[in-house]
Protein backbone atom coordinates (compact mmCIF):
# COMPACT_ATOMS: atom_id res chain seq x y z
CA UNK A 1 0.00 0.00 0.00
CA UNK A 2 2.84 2.37 0.88
CA UNK A 3 4.52 1.62 -2.44
CA UNK A 4 1.33 2.49 -4.35
CA UNK A 5 1.07 5.82 -2.48
CA UNK A 6 4.65 6.69 -3.39
CA UNK A 7 4.00 5.92 -7.04
CA UNK A 8 0.82 8.01 -7.06
CA UNK A 9 2.62 10.90 -5.33
CA UNK A 10 5.48 10.73 -7.86
CA UNK A 11 3.08 10.73 -10.81
CA UNK A 12 1.17 13.71 -9.42
CA UNK A 13 4.39 15.63 -8.82
CA UNK A 14 5.59 14.99 -12.35
CA UNK A 15 2.20 15.89 -13.82
CA UNK A 16 2.40 19.29 -12.12
CA UNK A 17 5.78 20.17 -13.62
CA UNK A 18 5.81 23.11 -16.03
CA UNK A 19 8.41 21.63 -18.41
CA UNK A 20 7.79 18.62 -20.55
CA UNK A 21 10.65 16.15 -20.98
CA UNK A 22 11.05 13.52 -23.65
CA UNK A 23 13.42 10.75 -24.60
CA UNK A 24 14.89 12.98 -27.32
CA UNK A 25 16.39 15.22 -24.65
CA UNK A 26 14.14 18.18 -25.34
CA UNK A 27 12.60 20.32 -22.63
CA UNK A 28 9.76 22.10 -24.37
CA UNK A 29 7.09 23.74 -22.27
CA UNK A 30 3.69 22.06 -22.71
CA UNK A 31 2.08 25.32 -23.89
CA UNK A 32 4.49 25.56 -26.85
CA UNK A 33 2.98 23.93 -29.95
CA UNK A 34 4.43 25.58 -33.09
CA UNK A 35 7.78 26.60 -34.53
CA UNK A 36 8.71 28.88 -37.41
CA UNK A 37 11.95 28.00 -39.24
CA UNK A 38 12.50 30.39 -42.17
CA UNK A 39 15.29 29.71 -44.64
CA UNK A 40 18.68 30.99 -43.46
CA UNK A 41 20.11 34.10 -45.09
CA UNK A 42 23.53 33.79 -46.72
CA UNK A 43 25.87 36.62 -45.75
CA UNK A 44 29.30 34.99 -46.01
CA UNK A 45 31.89 36.43 -48.41
CA UNK A 46 32.71 33.09 -50.06
CA UNK A 47 29.68 31.62 -51.84
CA UNK A 48 28.15 28.17 -51.51
CA UNK A 49 24.82 28.42 -53.33
CA UNK A 50 23.11 25.47 -51.62
CA UNK A 51 24.36 25.88 -48.04
CA UNK A 52 21.57 28.13 -46.73
CA UNK A 53 18.90 25.78 -48.04
CA UNK A 54 20.77 22.68 -46.82
CA UNK A 55 21.10 24.01 -43.26
CA UNK A 56 17.49 25.19 -43.19
CA UNK A 57 16.15 21.83 -44.39
CA UNK A 58 18.31 19.85 -41.95
CA UNK A 59 17.09 22.02 -39.07
CA UNK A 60 13.46 21.48 -40.12
CA UNK A 61 14.09 17.74 -40.37
CA UNK A 62 15.65 17.64 -36.90
CA UNK A 63 12.66 19.41 -35.35
CA UNK A 64 10.23 17.16 -37.23
CA UNK A 65 12.03 14.00 -36.03
CA UNK A 66 12.82 15.05 -32.46
CA UNK A 67 9.80 17.13 -31.40
CA UNK A 68 6.03 17.22 -31.76
CA UNK A 69 6.06 20.89 -32.74
CA UNK A 70 4.00 21.87 -35.76
CA UNK A 71 6.09 23.81 -38.28
CA UNK A 72 4.36 27.00 -39.42
CA UNK A 73 5.27 29.75 -41.89
CA UNK A 74 4.84 32.61 -39.41
CA UNK A 75 3.80 33.49 -35.86
CA UNK A 76 5.13 30.31 -34.24
CA UNK A 77 5.45 29.90 -30.49
CA UNK A 78 9.16 29.42 -31.22
CA UNK A 79 11.10 31.06 -34.03
CA UNK A 80 14.66 30.40 -35.15
CA UNK A 81 16.09 32.93 -37.58
CA UNK A 82 19.55 32.17 -38.88
CA UNK A 83 22.16 33.63 -41.14
CA UNK A 84 25.36 32.13 -42.49
CA UNK A 85 28.08 34.63 -41.66
CA UNK A 86 31.20 32.61 -42.43
CA UNK A 87 32.32 30.09 -45.03
CA UNK A 88 36.10 29.97 -45.05
CA UNK A 89 38.98 27.70 -46.02
CA UNK A 90 42.32 27.98 -44.24
CA UNK A 91 45.42 25.84 -43.91
CA UNK A 92 45.22 23.73 -40.75
CA UNK A 93 48.47 21.78 -41.01
CA UNK A 94 51.68 22.92 -42.67
CA UNK A 95 54.59 20.73 -43.78
CA UNK A 96 58.26 21.49 -43.13
CA UNK A 97 58.37 23.04 -46.62
CA UNK A 98 55.70 25.53 -45.49
CA UNK A 99 53.09 23.95 -47.74
CA UNK A 100 49.59 23.21 -46.49
CA UNK A 101 49.18 19.50 -45.76
CA UNK A 102 45.58 19.92 -44.64
CA UNK A 103 42.96 22.57 -45.12
CA UNK A 104 40.01 23.38 -42.88
CA UNK A 105 36.56 24.39 -44.07
CA UNK A 106 34.72 26.38 -41.39
CA UNK A 107 31.08 27.42 -41.44
CA UNK A 108 29.74 30.00 -38.98
CA UNK A 109 26.11 30.96 -38.36
CA UNK A 110 24.31 33.44 -36.14
CA UNK A 111 20.96 32.56 -34.62
CA UNK A 112 18.14 34.60 -33.16
CA UNK A 113 15.83 32.39 -31.07
CA UNK A 114 12.49 33.82 -30.03
CA UNK A 115 10.29 31.98 -27.54
CA UNK A 116 7.00 33.91 -27.60
CA UNK A 117 5.48 32.01 -24.66
CA UNK A 118 8.60 32.20 -22.45
CA UNK A 119 10.68 35.21 -23.57
CA UNK A 120 13.28 34.63 -20.85
CA UNK A 121 14.52 31.65 -22.93
CA UNK A 122 15.05 33.77 -26.07
CA UNK A 123 18.46 34.88 -27.32
CA UNK A 124 19.80 36.99 -30.14
CA UNK A 125 22.96 36.88 -32.23
CA UNK A 126 24.32 33.65 -30.76
CA UNK A 127 27.16 32.25 -32.88
CA UNK A 128 27.64 28.62 -33.82
CA UNK A 129 30.43 27.24 -35.95
CA UNK A 130 31.90 23.92 -37.01
CA UNK A 131 34.72 22.78 -39.24
CA UNK A 132 36.04 19.78 -41.11
CA UNK A 133 39.58 19.16 -42.30
CA UNK A 134 40.60 17.71 -45.65
CA UNK A 135 43.84 16.75 -47.34
CA UNK A 136 45.26 19.61 -49.39
CA UNK A 137 45.88 17.23 -52.31
CA UNK A 138 42.10 17.35 -52.83
CA UNK A 139 40.38 20.39 -54.24
CA UNK A 140 37.57 21.94 -52.22
CA UNK A 141 35.17 21.16 -55.07
CA UNK A 142 35.99 17.45 -54.77
CA UNK A 143 35.23 17.20 -51.03
CA UNK A 144 32.89 20.14 -50.40
CA UNK A 145 29.58 18.25 -50.29
CA UNK A 146 30.92 15.63 -47.85
CA UNK A 147 32.53 18.27 -45.62
CA UNK A 148 29.40 20.43 -45.63
CA UNK A 149 27.20 17.48 -44.63
CA UNK A 150 29.52 16.78 -41.67
CA UNK A 151 29.64 20.45 -40.66
CA UNK A 152 25.87 20.91 -40.99
CA UNK A 153 25.26 17.93 -38.68
CA UNK A 154 27.44 19.52 -35.99
CA UNK A 155 25.85 22.95 -36.30
CA UNK A 156 22.28 21.59 -36.29
CA UNK A 157 23.03 19.56 -33.15
CA UNK A 158 24.37 22.67 -31.41
CA UNK A 159 21.42 24.84 -32.45
CA UNK A 160 18.90 22.18 -31.42
CA UNK A 161 20.56 21.77 -28.02
CA UNK A 162 20.75 25.53 -27.42
CA UNK A 163 17.10 26.13 -28.30
CA UNK A 164 15.00 23.23 -27.07
CA UNK A 165 17.35 20.90 -25.22
CA UNK A 166 18.86 23.84 -23.31
CA UNK A 167 22.25 22.19 -22.88
pLDDT in tens, 30-43: 889 999 999 999 99
Total number of domains constituting the chain: 1
Domain extent, residue 90, equals 32-165
Report pLDDT digits (tens) over 95-135: 666 666 889 999 999 999 999 999 999 999 999 999 999 99
Q: For 55-107, what is each residue's pLDDT tens digit? A: 999 999 999 999 999 999 999 999 999 999 999 999 887 766 666 688 999 99
Residue 85 covered by a domain: yes
Mean pLDDT of 18-30: 57
Residue 58 CB partners (closer than 8 Å, separation 6+): 152, 153, 156
Task: Check residue 2 and give its pLDDT.
Answer: 56
> Is residue 155 domain-resident?
yes
Work out the average pLDDT over 131-140: 92
Q: How much is the average pLDDT of 136-144?
A: 91
What is the structure's pLDDT at 96? 62
For the segment 138-143, the average pLDDT, to the nearest whole number, is: 92
pTM of the model: 0.80
Q: Is 44 inside a domain boundary?
A: yes
For residue 121, the domain's CATH number is 3.30.160.150
Does any domain span residue 26?
no
User: 3 versus 163: which is more confidently predicted?
Assistant: 163
Domain-embedded: residue 78: yes
Q: Examine residue 139 and state whether it is found in any structural domain, yes or no.
A: yes
Q: Is the residue at 19 inside a domain?
A: no
Q: Report yes or no on 86 lying in a domain.
A: yes
Amino acid sequence: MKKALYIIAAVLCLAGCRVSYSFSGTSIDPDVHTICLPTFEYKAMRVNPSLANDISEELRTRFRRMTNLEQVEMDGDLEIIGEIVGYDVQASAVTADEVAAQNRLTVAVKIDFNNVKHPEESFSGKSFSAYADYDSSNSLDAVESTLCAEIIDKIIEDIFNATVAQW
